Amino acid sequence: MSTFTLPLAGRAGQLVGSVIDSSTSLLAAQRHDVVRFAMGSPAAEFVPVGVFNDIAATVHDASSYAYGATEGEPRLLRALLGHLATTPEPSSSDRITITSGGMQGLDLACKLFVDPGDLVVVESPTYTNGSATALSYGARLLEVPMDADGLDVDELERLVAESGRTPKAIYTIPNFQNPSGTTLSTPRRIRLIELARRWNAVIIDDDPYGLLRFDGEDLAGFRELSGNDPLVFSVRTFSKILAPGLRVGWVDADPSLRQLVINAKQAMDTCANVPAQHVVAEFILRGGLDAHLDRLRVEYRRRKEAMMASLHRHLAGRIRTTDPEGGFFLWVTLLGEDAAVDTRRLFEIALAEGVAFIPGPALSAGGRFADAFRLCFASSDPERTDVGVRRLAAALDLARAE
Ligand code: PMP
């Protein structure tokens, strides 16, 4: 047998893979009943399957299965713009391109702005599928710490000065951040815009959860605060507010970028899935989205509160958590002697006990946060959540005893 080396491109070595996504296959392979706090999935029982099926049944002609326009199906664009007009982020048709989910929006942003070797700022912790996208284009990542008000902009300025380089892009998740659940404060949003202007860096504004605020007041987004600065590139998705398997999202970018976005997308996948766009468009046009969002906000608040109560019941004094005002996630940090437990090991024990989460190091570009983990409160009802948290506490006792 001859031995040979495949002629892989250099960038193949920069594809780091996703621990988050791998947990889907890992959990599918589990034979026992696992409480799933790992994936950031909307609750299955809130996906409007009946309405989706009714809409899909109205498709009678082959045009719904033909190639569609790269910028998106006209009915979806119209429906989306109509919906956005009722939110804090109205937009216009020269700014929006429909994508295959939020991940493609991130890919488009990095494809357009990141050259090999460019410095890209990421939050620490961050959504590592997003930082992985930047890495796939050869980015060098600069991890910047966060606190209860989101990305620490003073630290950002200091770390950039220390690096002796100027970032090309700042990747931020401003609302109910994945994974920490924290929201970037308004003064910091304004400072971030100032810094981006000073460095001529694009702000990759990834906000899948903004419409899922269940407490407090909406904050103005980067686009509004910056007066539509072309440096703001916004990535949005229907994955968290409707269903992730649809793979439908959108980017909202300066009109001067529109053709470039379309050119880049044409080289990827021609157009987003047309039947899925049809389902989303009709769902919105039938007037279902507002009521759906209202319901989600009520339910997710209930679920978050239930998870906080269960954590208090079973792990009081052993952990510290964030307290998100929306979205899907809580960030848990182990305290005292428990802090010596590596949450990657805790994950293995917890899985055997029947509960899954994402360990901190999988959510940091540099593998930090061995004493922390992310819990998704959105997918499980309060009773199930309590079962999961009880198992988590048992797993922590076992890990401590090792
Ligand atoms: N960005 C963030 C912060 C996310 O949490 C997610 C989904 N987990 C995405 C992007 C990707 O969204 P999509 O599933 O629509 O590709």
The pLDDT value recorded for residue 32 is 75
Q: What is the C-alpha to C-alpha distance for residues 397 and 375, in angstroms, rounded to an integer?
A: 18
In this prediction, residue 291 has a pLDDT band, given cuts at 50, 70 and 90, of very high
Kindly tell me if the per-residue pLDDT of 356 is higher than 90.
yes
Percent of the chain surpassing pLDDT 90: 91
For residue 248, the ligand 1 atom closest to its alpha carbon is 15
User: Span 336-350, mean pLDDT?
Assistant: 97
- For 157, how many CA atoms within 13 A lie in the half-sphere containing its CB? 11
**Average pLDDT value for the chain:** 95
For residue 239, the ligand 1 atom closest to its alpha carbon is 15
Record the tokens describing residue 400, joined without a space.
């401590």
In this prediction, residue 17 has a pLDDT band, given cuts at 50, 70 and 90, of confident
Query: What burial class does residue 227 get, using C-beta atoms within 10 Å of its C-beta: 0-12 exposed, 13-18 middle, 19+ buried?
Result: exposed
* Alpha carbon of 106 to ligand 1 centroid (Å): 9
The pLDDT value recorded for residue 3 is 79
Per DSSP (E only), the strands in 304-386 are 319-321, 329-334, 355-356, 358-359, 372-376
In this prediction, residue 380 has a pLDDT band, given cuts at 50, 70 and 90, of very high
The pLDDT value recorded for residue 206 is 98
pLDDT digits (tens, 9 = 90+) for 100-120: 999 999 999 999 999 999 999
The pLDDT value recorded for residue 19 is 82
Q: What angle do CA 352, 357, 358 make, to 5 degrees?
A: 120
* Alpha carbon of 238 to ligand 1 centroid (Å): 9
Candidate from 239, 248, 375, 379 with most ligand 1 atoms within 8 A of CB, to mutate: 239
In this prediction, residue 368 has a pLDDT band, given cuts at 50, 70 and 90, of very high
282 lines ligand 1 (CB under 6 A): no
Kindly tell me if the per-residue pLDDT of 238 is higher than 70.
yes
The pLDDT value recorded for residue 254 is 98
Q: What angle do CA 188, 178, 254 make, to 5 degrees?
A: 60
The pLDDT value recorded for residue 28 is 75
User: Span 318-343, mean pLDDT?
Assistant: 98
What are the CA-CA distances from residue 124 to residues 178, 198, 219, 371 (Å)? 10, 22, 22, 14
The pLDDT value recorded for residue 234 is 98
The DSSP result for 108-173, as a single string, is HHHHHH--TT-EEEEEES--HHHHHHHHHTTPEEEEEEEETTEE-HHHHHHHHHHHTS--SEEEE-
Q: What is the 3-state secondary structure (H, E, C) of 60-83?
A: CCHHHHCCCCCCCCHHHHHHHHHH
Among 101, 97, 54, 64, which residue's Cα sits nearest to residue 288?
A: 54
Kindly tell me if the per-residue pLDDT of 20 is higher than 90.
no
pTM value > 0.80: yes
ipTM exceeding 0.90, yes/no: yes
In this prediction, residue 216 has a pLDDT band, given cuts at 50, 70 and 90, of very high
User: Span 304-314, mean pLDDT?
Assistant: 98
The pLDDT value recorded for residue 29 is 73
pLDDT digits (tens, 9 = 90+) for 62-92: 888 999 999 999 999 999 999 999 998 999 9
pLDDT digits (tens, 9 = 90+) for 257-276: 999 999 999 999 999 999 99
For residue 328, the ligand 1 atom closest to its alpha carbon is 5
User: Span 293-302, mean pLDDT?
Assistant: 98
- How many Cβ atoms from other residues are within 10 Å of residue 361's Cβ? 21
In this prediction, residue 2 has a pLDDT band, given cuts at 50, 70 and 90, of low
For residue 238, the ligand 1 atom closest to its alpha carbon is 15
The pLDDT value recorded for residue 369 is 98
- For 338, how many CA atoms within 13 A lie in the half-sphere containing its CB? 21
The alpha carbon of residue 108 and the mean position of all alpha carbons in its chain are separated, in whole angstroms, by 15
